[in-house]
Amino acid sequence: MIKKINTLFVTMFGLGRIPIIPGTFGSLATVILLYIFFHILDLPTIIIFGFLIIIFLFSFKAIAVHIKDNTNKDPREVVIDEFIGQSIPIYTYEISHGTEKSSGEAIIFYGVCFILFRFFDITKPFPVNFFDRKFKNSLGVIMDDVIAGFYVVLSLICFMIFKSYFIQ
């Protein structure tokens, strides 16, 4: 029973079992879920932050248990790491805009975050690839997506700086 619950958690309730592009489906589900949390349910950011931290911390153990007897230490069905990585730029956007949040603007921004995150997660620039290659455990599975999420944040900050100087 506990093993089944753990598998449901790391596969995001079976999304990771989709035969094609399970990571993309995991990321898309994250975007939709966070949009619902922030813009439909209008949950306080501290509640969402607590939820994300619990998911992050529990993921280390859950992934370790899931891959324990598996020869592939980063199986495709594990997509909770996409949830964690995709959450970073979206949460950062939401807290940086305070209470004035346009749902239309959020949809565009969430879409950009989704595309950029998938780009960095698939291409794995350094140090994303470092964690992916060197750590064949739950740390490697999670941290490559965390860094990909921070790359999205960094890219958007660079764009905003560029925009403020060159586009009026």
The residue with greater pLDDT, 19 or 96, is 19
Write the burial class of residue 39 (CB in 10 Å: 0-12 exposed, 13-18 middle, 19+ buried): middle
If we measure between CA atoms, which residue out of 38, 161, 26 comes closest to residue 90?
Answer: 38
Quote the tokens at residue 103.
Answer: 């749902």
Distance (Å, whole) CA 85 – CA 152: 9
d(CA 110, CA 31): 6
**What would the pLDDT profile of 45-94 be if each residue is shown by its tens digit?**
999 999 999 999 999 999 999 988 777 767 889 999 999 999 999 999 99
Query: Count of H helices and E strands in the chain?
Result: 7, 0
**pLDDT digits 0-9 by tens, 94-139:** 998 665 667 888 899 999 999 999 999 999 999 888 987 888 888 9
The predicted structure's pLDDT at residue 53: 98
State the pTM of this model.
0.91
- Give pLDDT, residue 131: 84
SS3 assignment for 104-164: HHHHHHHHHHHHHHHHHHHHCCCCHHHHHHHCCCHHHHHHHHHHHHHHHHHHHHHHHHHHH
- pLDDT, position 69: 77
Between these two residues, 136 and 14, which has the higher pLDDT value?
14
Residue 32: pLDDT above 90? Answer: yes
